[in-house]
Amino acid sequence: MNPEAFFDLAARLNGGLRGEEILFCSLGGEASDFVRLNRNAIRQAGHVRTAGLGLNLIDGARQAEAVCDFRGSPEQDLDVARSLLDRLRERLAFVPEDPYLNYSRQAGESMHQVGDGLPSTAGMVDALIQAADGLDLVGICASGDIVEGLASSLGHRYWHQSSSFNLDWSCYLGADKAVKSGYSGFAWEPEVLGAKLAEMRAALDVMARPAKVIEPGRYRAYLAPAAVQELMDMLAWGGFGLKDHRTSQTPLLKLIRGERTFASALTIQEQHDRGLTPGFTPEGFLKPGCVPLINAGAFGQALVDARSGKEYGEVVNAAADAPESLNVAAGTLSMADAHRQLDTGLSIGNLWYCNWSDMNECRITGMTRFGTFWVEGGEIVAPLDVMRFDDSLYHLLGDRLEALTRERELMLSAETYDGRSSASALLPGVLVSGIDFAL
C-alpha cells in the first residue's frame, strides 16, 4: 500500500466517527525476499508481502485497539476496517478508563524514505555464493521494503519506508568448528562483502589448527562489534526504560545512584535521526533526533514511551522502553591494530547465550563459541575451546575498558517476529584489559 491509499483510507474512516471519538490508524507492512543457503547453495527461496492495519479508537479516557490484514482491494479493505471500527465502538462501552492513556494532540506531517538502489536479492545472493566459493556456507538473506504509517483524526499524517538487506551466515570447517559473520545495511558495497569472506577464510585456516585450552581466569581480550552487540542487548534489557528506573528494576541502578560508572570513553545514544526506524511513535509523538543514554560514562536520560510519560509526567522521547537505533560512539583504535594492541589474549568474534548472573552488579554470564581465537604477539595462533565468561559490565565497559575502535559496524536486527525488524545498532569493537572466565 502506498501512502496516498493509506491516508485516503484513514480519512474515510475518520468520516464515520461519532461525537468526541478520536481514531489513530497505523500501517505496518513489508515486501521481503528470503533465501536460505546450505553448503553454499540456495535451498529455499520465497517472497513475503504483507500489510496490516491497526485501529485505536479513543473516547474520553477509554481506548480499544484491534488489527486486521489488508486484502489488496481498496473497497474490501475499507469494508473490513469499518466493521472493525464498529466492533471497537461496541467494546469501548465495557472497558474501564485508562489512567495512562497518552497521545499527541499536535497534528503533523512527514514522509521519510531510507535506502534506495539496492541490487536484486538474486544479485546479492549470487555475490555471496561467488565470494564463498569452496566454503561450506549456511545462512539466510532477507531483503526488501518495510513501511510504517500513522494517520489520525487529529491531523497526524506520517509515513516511513526503508529498503534494506541482511545477510547472516556461518562457514563450517567440520563438526562444531565454524566462523560466523554477517553483512547488513541500506547501501550495497561488494568490497565489504569480499573483505568479510576473506577474513573468514583466514579464520578457518586457523580453526584447522589444534585448539588451545586455557584455564579459568582473567584474560585480555578484543571483542568484535558482533560480540559487543550481545553486551548492548543485555543493557537494553531493562537498562534504559523510564519505568524500570522509577521502579528500581534496572540493572543500571548503581550507575543512576552514582555508585558506579562506566569508562569516560563510553557514550551510548538512541540515535533516532539516523532514520532507520520511524521518527514518530504509534501515539503520534515525534521522537527527538538523539537521546543520550550514557554520556562519557555517566547516566544520561531514560527512554520514555507514551504510557511511562503519562505515568511519571515526563516528555515522550521514544516508541518503546528499549533502544531501536542504538549508537555507541567510536574511539581511536584502528581495527587493523586491534590484535597488535591486544598483544596476548583472546579475540572474541561472538558471544552466545548471555544472561544476567547478578543484575544488581550488572554482571553477565555467557559463552564463547564460533570464531574465538588465542592471540600471541599480536597474531592469531590458535582457536579456543568453548569458554564461559562471568563478568560485570562495570568492568568490561568501565575500569577495564582500554579502547574503542575508530571503525564501527552497522548491524540490523535479524528478527522476523510479526515481520522484519527495523531495529539497528552502530557499534565499535572493544579492547579490554581483562574478562573473567569461570570455566
CATH architecture assignment, domain 3-174 = 2-Layer Sandwich (3.30)
**Which residue(s) pair with 162 in the sheet?**
114, 146
Q: What is the pLDDT of residues 225-252, one digit of tens each?
A: 999 999 999 999 999 999 999 999 999 9
In angstroms, what CA-CA distances link 8 with 77, 138, 152, 161, 190?
12, 44, 11, 18, 41
pTM of the predicted structure, to 2 decimals: 0.94
- Taken as a whole, the chain contains a residue count of 439
Residue 97: pLDDT band with limits 50, 70, 90: very high
Residue 319 pLDDT > 90: yes
pLDDT score for 276: 83
Q: How many angstroms separate the CA atoms of 282 and 54, rounded?
A: 10
Residue 265 pLDDT > 80: yes
| Beta-strand pair 41-59/325-328 | unpaired
Q: How many angstroms separate the CA atoms of 428 and 439, rounded?
A: 27
pLDDT score for 181: 95
pLDDT score for 268: 98
Residue 395 CB: number of other CB atoms within 10 A?
22
Residue 9: pLDDT band with limits 50, 70, 90: very high
- Mean of per-residue pLDDT scores for the chain: 96
Q: What is the pLDDT of residues 144-155, one digit of tens each?
A: 999 999 999 999
Burial class (CB in 10 A: 0-12, 13-18, 19+), 417: exposed
pLDDT score for 281: 98
Domain boundaries of the chain, sorted by first residue:
3-174, 209-437
Are the beta carbons of 431 and 222 closer than 8 angstroms? Answer: yes
- Average pLDDT in the 96-102 region? 98
pLDDT score for 439: 82
The letter for the amino acid at 148 is E
**Which residue(s) pair with 167 in the sheet?**
141, 183
pLDDT score for 371: 86
pLDDT score for 8: 96
Percent of the chain past pLDDT 90, that is, above it, reads 94
Run of H or E including 381: strand 379-383
Percent of the chain past pLDDT 70, that is, above it, reads 100
Residue 382 pLDDT > 80: yes
Name the residue with cell 490508524: 25
Number of helical (H) and strand (E) elements in the chain, helices listed first: 10, 20
Q: Which three cell numbers stand for residue 106?
A: 499536535
pLDDT score for 115: 87
Residue 85 pLDDT > 90: yes
Q: What is the pLDDT of residues 282-318, one digit of tens each?
A: 999 999 999 999 999 999 999 999 999 999 999 999 9
pLDDT score for 72: 83
Range 315-320, long-range pairs (CB < 8 A, 24+ positions): 316/102, 316/104, 316/281, 316/283, 316/285, 317/270, 317/287, 317/288, 317/291, 318/270, 318/272, 318/281, 318/287, 318/291, 319/277, 319/278, 319/280, 319/281, 319/282, 319/287, 320/241
- Average pLDDT in the 102-111 region? 97
DSSP-based three-state secondary structure for 20: coil
Residues 6 or more apart from 384 whose CB is under 8 A from it?
211, 212, 213, 214, 346, 368, 372, 373, 374
Directed axis angle between helix 74-92 and helix 3-14, to 10°?
40
Q: What is the pLDDT of residues 334-362, one digit of tens each?
A: 999 999 999 999 999 999 999 999 999 99
| Beta-strand pair 156-174/136-152 | antiparallel
Q: How many angstroms separate the CA atoms of 196 and 287, rounded?
A: 35
CA-wise closest residue to 244 among 284, 299, 325: 299
Beta strands in 224-344 (DSSP E): 268-270, 291-295, 298-299, 325-328
Q: What is the pLDDT of residues 167-212, one digit of tens each?
A: 999 999 988 889 999 999 999 999 999 999 999 999 999 999 999 9
pLDDT score for 54: 98
